[in-house]
């Protein structure tokens, strides 16, 4: 693990991310397992999905490209996108 990867891992705590996304989606943290689908399982619409992206951008101080949006459909996918973005920042 490089120093940059270690920094990204330190900045991106999965349980903190889980709490942040659960709050943005207005669901219980326990409902937000790694693989639950925001859309199919939680009924998230496009407007709420965009709100999650905005919350994440503000919290982590970064800009997510639209090309990453299709991967932000579960906690696992969201974690991967943010980890990659933070490592490349």
In tens, the pLDDT along 25-63 reads 999 999 999 999 999 999 999 999 999 999 999 999 999
What is the CATH number for 59?
1.10.1200.10
Question: Averaged over 12-37, what is the pLDDT?
Answer: 97
Number of domains the chain is built from:
1
Contact (CB, 8 A) for 61 and 11: no
Contact (CB, 8 A) for 62 and 85: yes
Range of the domain at 36: 3-88
Question: Averaged over 58-71, what is the pLDDT?
Answer: 95
3-state class (DSSP) for residue 57: helix
Q: What is the pTM of this model?
A: 0.86
């Amino acid at each position: 693990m490089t120093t940059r990867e270690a920094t990204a891992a330190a900045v991106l705590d999965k349980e903190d991310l889980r709490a942040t996304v659960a709050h943005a989606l207005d669901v219980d943290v326990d409902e937000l397992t790694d693989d639950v689908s925001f859309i199919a399982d939680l009924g998230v619409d496009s407007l709420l999905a965009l709100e999650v992206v905005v919350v994440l951008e503000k919290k982590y101080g970064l800009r997510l490209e639209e090309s990453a949006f299709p991967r932000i459909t579960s906690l696992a996918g969201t974690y991967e996108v943010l980890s990659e973005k933070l490592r490349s920042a």
